[in-house]
Each structure stands twice: as C-alpha cells, then as structure tokens.
C-alpha cells in the first residue's frame, strides 16, 4: 500500500488544535517513534537532491518553496504516485512501503527515466537496477553475519565507502569504527539489536573517521553511550532506537557537520541526545523523541546547533543547552530550539550517570533551561505541564552568566503541574543581561511579573535585575543527584519489527 498526501501552504506556528491533541497523549509513556522522512526541494527545472535513499515505510516530502513555474511530480510507472499541479508554497508527501527503485519526473519539464527534470527514490537495499547501459551500483557491501560473524569484524574489513549491512539478531559487542565513509545499517530497526548487557562501554563508537552514517537499528543497555561520535566531521545518526544506555543515548563530542534525526532515545542517566564541545558545530537534531532520561537534550559548550520538530517528554528537564568548565570551547552559543513539543518533564528518579552522578544537579521540572548560555533562540515551541518552569533563563551551576537569549512565539501552559503553588511559564533569575521575552502565548505567572514588558526583545540591550524568588528556588531545589530517588525506568513498548523488512508481517 502507498500513502499519498498533499498539504498546501502550511504554517510552522503550532496551532491550538494540535496542542489539544498533544495534551491528550501525555498519559502514555510509550511515545511512538517519529515517522522518518526525507525532503526533496522542487526548484524551477530541477529536483534537489535527484536521488534519495529511504527505508520501507518512510516518506518523501517534495517541497516547492518558491518559484515562478508550475510543477507536477509523477512516477515513471503509471499510478504509483502523482502530486497533481503544484505551485509555489505547496508540498507533496508519499510513503514508500516496498523495497525498490521509484523513478519519477516533472510532467511539465521532464520525461520518464531521467530525461529533463527527474529523480529517483531508492527504498531499502534493492539489487542494482538494469539501466540498459550495463551501469550498476558497485559499492562494496559486507553482510553480518553472512560474510562476517560480528559487526566489528565486518567494520575492520570494510574499505572506505562500504556499507556494513546487519541482519536481524542480537549482537553482544561494542563496535569501534575508524574507517571513513562507512554506512552501518540494520536490516530491521527493531530486530537488529546491539546489546551491552549493562557492562560494555558504548554500542558504536566512531572515533576520528569522517563521513560515517549509523542507521536503522536498536542499541541498548550499554554502560556508556548508545552511539558515540568523537573527533570527526560529517556524522549521521538516523532511525536509531537507543534504550537504557546509561550515560547518553546518541552523543557527538568535538564533532562537526552532523545530523541526528528520526530516532527515539529512552532511559539515559545523562542526556537522551548530546552535542558538546564544538565551536561552529553545524549540528542538526530533528524529528527525534527524547524521553525518560535526565535531560532530553544536553549541549555543553556547543555553538551552532539546531533542535527542531522533535518531542521531549518525561525527562527531568526537556531541553538544556548549557555552559560548563568541564569541557572546552565555552560558553554555549547560538543554539536554536524551534517548533518542538516539550511536555511533562518532571521525572526525577532515573539512575544517575554522567552529569547526573555529580554532587550538583539540575532544577527538575523544566521544559527549556538556558543556564549560562549566550545568543540562544527558543521559538515556536509547545511547552506544557512542568512542575516549576516552562522556560527558565539562569546562571549555570558554575555561575556562568546568560547573555542575549531570545524566547519568542512559544505556547506555554500549566507550569505548576504539581500544584504546589510555585511555577512560572517564563522566568529569568536576573543574572547576565539582555535576555528577552516577546510574543509568547502563556496563561500562568512569570518571574518577574510582566516579564515581556520589562524585558521585551525590541528593548535590548538592558541589564538584568536579580529576581530573588527564582534565585532562592534554584538554590533550594537544585537537587543533590546522589541522594535523589533512583530506580530503573519501565521497559518501553516498541514495535516487534519494521514494516517492509524481510520477515516482518506488520501492515
């Protein structure tokens, strides 16, 4: 079955109707995986990129942002998909359930099989197509366990540019990758499982090898991290389930030009997702779920990270870019948190690891926390149901000051979720300077009162003024993580197999 939708001129602004649907979902801890998508830009006379790779069940979105001509996306094989006429501002989405090659063209500016304005969607790992000219995809592919009994042996044997394809099974090993341009890919996201048995360090460590992609697998129960990128450029982590990896779920350190997307991370003692110690990181996190962890996102001393279109729920804090002296290249600067759903982050009992094992902890019950950061932007997010703060700007736990952060156009509700009488939708402890709040849709109190009048973004620059209630609350409620309750989170419910993968009968 193919699923096709067409959406015209939609806004990035979160609607109240969508927010109502979100609130209804809060009761369930088993947040479903975010559907994986790839985007193709429609330009006058071209599709960009012309070739995209997806897995069975994924979708492709053709986005016609602007242009003067009309276009029409149509499959070479009649009846597979057809966008109808598209004009500037339109998008067209199609889901691909079966492995294969799907050639398409613009009906007005191209013709079948690569003539004029055309492209191809490659779904899964199909055999090379017969192009009529004898040209085939000759990229090396090493299959585990058919060709090599372990993932590590396949990785060690792989040449740059190879694909390591991992069949369904449980692999009890810690893999280190030092060869560039590899793709490490599971055949079935939910049945290709790396398991550390709560003893091994990290599931997959990519150390100094540029342009490596890890995709379509589950990595769980490692004492350190699920997937760890370190000292490299060009990392990609996509369609990964990270479950109960004790420190970080997906972790990039001193690494640049990276993408983490379409993934689900659960039960980390520090951060579900983490990008740290990079100046000009060029890091993107999108379409992920971070849940039942100490921090949904933690970004220590990272500059230039975008976090968008994602869900952070049931963590101690949802999203926390931060500055700390434990890493170089501080302070954290230029993080953009945009168009996310951030709700019910009040969970205080995850077993401690990483930062959460330190004597000084965090203010539990916060949607977005900006401690000691500079030039961060928090916009168009839906932030709900937190015990203490919707958005909090403060000095860091090591007294770094927040400067020039913008909090704008967010929907914020119910920031006294535990009904203890204390809770602010928007708050600033008054340290630092020029932290501003404008055009947010909120109903609760702010600290200080009338924060959008006192500290409007159009009024910058301005000094901060200490706000004693917030400062006193932080001093009293930043917990000692060594004494807080700690217990194993429940086992999550995940799909039994991946639709479209061999041997999976899900419909």
Position 135 scores a pLDDT of 43
Q: List the structure tokens of 27.
A: 């009761």
Q: Is the pLDDT of residue 245 over 90?
A: yes
Position 131 scores a pLDDT of 46
Exposed (0-12), middle (13-18) or buried (19+): which is 225, by Cβ within 10 Å? buried
Exposed (0-12), middle (13-18) or buried (19+): which is 139, by Cβ within 10 Å? exposed
Position 507 scores a pLDDT of 64
For residues 52-70, b (16+ Cβ closer than 10 Å) or e, as one string?
bbbbbbbbbebebeebebb
Position 6 scores a pLDDT of 41
Q: Tokens 């013709």 — which residue?
A: 111
Q: Which of 33-47, 127-141, 251-265 has the highest mean pLDDT?
A: 251-265
Total residue length of the chain: 507
Instruction: Look at 45-49, 237-241, 288-292, 421-425 and tell me which has the smallest mean pLDDT.
Output: 45-49
Q: Tokens 């079955």 — which residue?
A: 1
Position 134 scores a pLDDT of 44
Q: Is the pLDDT of residue 28 over 90?
A: no
Q: Is the pLDDT of residue 432 over 80?
A: yes
Q: Compute the C-alpha angle 285/289/294, nearest 5°.
A: 95
φ/ψ of residue 19, rounded to 5: -65, -35
Cβ(321)–Cβ(376) under 8 Å? yes
Mean pLDDT across 394-423: 95
What band does 130 get if pLDDT is binned at 50, 70 and 90? low
3-state secondary structure of 414: coil
CA–CA distance, 501 with 58 (Å, rounded to integer): 12
Cβ(307)–Cβ(319) under 8 Å? yes
The mean pLDDT value of the chain amounts to 89
CA–CA distance, 201 with 245 (Å, rounded to integer): 9
| Residues 6+ away with beta carbon under 8 Å from 98 | 56, 123, 124, 500
Q: List the structure tokens of 124.
A: 């899964």
pLDDT, one tens digit per residue, over 455-485 is: 999 999 999 999 999 999 999 888 666 678 8
Position 138 scores a pLDDT of 55
Instruction: Look at 45-54, 246-255, 330-339 and tell me which has the smallest mean pLDDT.
Output: 45-54
Q: Is the pLDDT of residue 181 over 50?
A: yes
- Percent with pLDDT over 90 in the chain: 72
Position 139 scores a pLDDT of 62
DSSP 215-248: EEEEEE--SSEEEEEES-BSEEEEEEEEES-SSE
pTM of the predicted structure, to 2 decimals:
0.80
pLDDT, one tens digit per residue, over 131-167 is: 444 444 456 899 999 999 999 999 999 999 999 999 9
Position 430 scores a pLDDT of 98
CA–CA distance, 468 with 439 (Å, rounded to integer): 25
Give the H or E element holding residue 119: strand 115-123
Rg of the chain, C-alpha, whole Å: 23
DSSP 8-50: ES--SSPPHHHHHHHHHTTT-S-PPPPPPEEEEEEETTEEESS
Q: Is the pLDDT of residue 238 over 70?
A: yes
Mean pLDDT across 402-416: 98
pLDDT, one tens digit per residue, over 347-360 is: 989 988 888 887 77
Mean pLDDT across 196-203: 97
CA distances from 435 to 263, 364, 375, 398, 412 (A): 32, 22, 9, 19, 18
Q: Compute the C-alpha angle 432/434/438, nearest 5°.
A: 130
pLDDT, one tens digit per residue, over 68-103 is: 889 999 999 888 999 999 998 899 999 998 888 999
Position 8 scores a pLDDT of 38
Give the other-Cβ count within 10 Å of 169's Cβ: 14
Position 419 scores a pLDDT of 86
Instruction: Look at 58-62, 137-141, 232-236, 275-279 and tell me which has the smallest mean pLDDT.
Output: 137-141
Position 128 scores a pLDDT of 67
Position 480 scores a pLDDT of 66
CA–CA distance, 263 with 261 (Å, rounded to integer): 5
Mean pLDDT across 423-440: 98
Q: Is the pLDDT of residue 302 over 90?
A: yes
């Amino acid at each position: 079955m193919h699923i096709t939708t067409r959406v015209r001129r939609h806004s990035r602004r979160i609607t109240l109707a969508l927010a109502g649907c979100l609130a209804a979902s809060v009761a369930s801890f088993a947040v479903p995986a975010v559907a994986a998508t790839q985007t193709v830009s429609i330009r006058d006379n071209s599709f960009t990129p012309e070739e995209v790779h997806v897995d069975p069940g994924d979708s492709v979105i053709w986005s016609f942002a602007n242009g003067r001509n009309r276009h029409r996306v149509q499959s070479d094989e009649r009846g597979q998909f057809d966008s109808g006429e598209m004009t500037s501002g339109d998008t067209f989405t199609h889901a691909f359930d079966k492995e294969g090659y799907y050639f398409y063209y613009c009906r007005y500016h191209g013709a079948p099989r690569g003539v004029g304005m055309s492209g191809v969607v490659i779904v899964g790992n199909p055999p090379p197509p017969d192009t009529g000219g004898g040209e085939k995809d000759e990229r090396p592919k090493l299959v585990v366990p058919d060709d090599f009994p372990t993932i590590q042996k396949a990785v060690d044997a792989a040449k740059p540019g190879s694909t390591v394809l991992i069949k369904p099974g449980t692999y009890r090993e810690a893999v280190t990758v030092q060869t560039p341009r590899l793709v490490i890919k599971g055949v079935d996201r939910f049945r290709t499982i790396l398991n550390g048995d709560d003893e091994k360090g990290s599931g997959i460590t990519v150390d100094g090898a540029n342009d490596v992609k890890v995709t379509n697998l589950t990595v769980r129960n490692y004492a350190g991290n699920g997937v760890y990128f370190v000292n490299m450029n060009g990392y990609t982590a996509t369609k990964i389930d990270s479950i109960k990896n004790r420190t970080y779920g997906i972790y990039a350190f001193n690494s640049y030009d990276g993408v983490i997307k379409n993934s689900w991370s659960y039960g980390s003692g520090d951060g579900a997702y983490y990008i740290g110690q990079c100046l000009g990181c060029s890091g993107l996190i999108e379409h992920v779920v971070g849940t039942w962890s100490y921090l949904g996102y933690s970004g220590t001393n990272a500059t230039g990270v975008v976090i968008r279109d994602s869900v952070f729920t049931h963590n101690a804090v949802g999203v926390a870019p931060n500055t700390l002296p434990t890493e170089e290249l501080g302070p954290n600067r230029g993080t953009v948190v945009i168009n996310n759903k951030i709700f019910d982050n009040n969970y205080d009992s995850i077993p401690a690891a990483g930062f959460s094992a330190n004597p000084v902890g965090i203010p539990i019950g916060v949607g977005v926390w900006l401690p000691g950061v500079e030039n961060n932007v928090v916009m168009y997010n839906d932030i709900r149901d937190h015990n203490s703060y919707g958005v909090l700007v403060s000095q860091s736990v090591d007294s770094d000051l927040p400067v020039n952060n913008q909090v704008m156009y967010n929907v914020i509700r119910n920031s006294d979720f535990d009904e203890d009488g204390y809770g602010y939708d928007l708050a600033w402890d008054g340290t630092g300077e020029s932290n501003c709040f404008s055009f947010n849709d909120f109903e609760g109190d702010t600290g200080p009162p009338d924060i959008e009048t006192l500290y409007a973004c159009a009024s910058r620059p301005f000094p901060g003024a200490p706000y004693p209630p917030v400062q006193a609350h932080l001093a009293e409620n930043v917990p000692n993580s060594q004494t807080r309750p700690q217990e194993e989170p429940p086992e999550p419910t995940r799909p039994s197999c991946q639709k479209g993968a061999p041997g999976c009968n899900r419909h």
